[in-house]
Structure 1
Amino acid sequence: MKDFFYGIQDLFVNHLFAPFDYLRKLQLDTWFGANTISWIFLAIFAVLFAYWMKQLSLFDPEH
């Protein structure tokens, strides 16, 4: 059973969190560098939210 939990630990630490380790290694010291990543994620969210609202409007009974 111990190997099962070590397997879960290996999956998360070495594989699923690898992109976060990469971002941490960039060592973004400037305000613009650090917030560029946030703005990219915000733009992706805005596009997905707009798409979601468009799809919801297709099923609106009053539409």
Structure 2
Amino acid sequence: MEDPATGAAAAAFGGYLRDLGLFTGPADITVRQGEDMGRPSELVIGVTPEDARVRVTGTAVLLPR
């Protein structure tokens, strides 16, 4: 089973954009994934230029095995 949303990839993407110097202050980036597989998902990536940390938030659904 494939993940409709990938938090690790979203965190790496947020860090990459921050390292490019694209933000002058705190920013939230919304990422949408999973539409093509019928599981639309939305993650919010929070970055701050002077902070090495990246915050990823979203919701989750437990699926039966």
Q: TM-score range with shorter-chain normalisation?
A: under 0.3
Which structure's relative contact order is higher, taking Cα pairs within 8 Å and 6+ residues apart? 2
Instruction: Name the structure where helix makes up a greater proportion of residues.
Output: 1
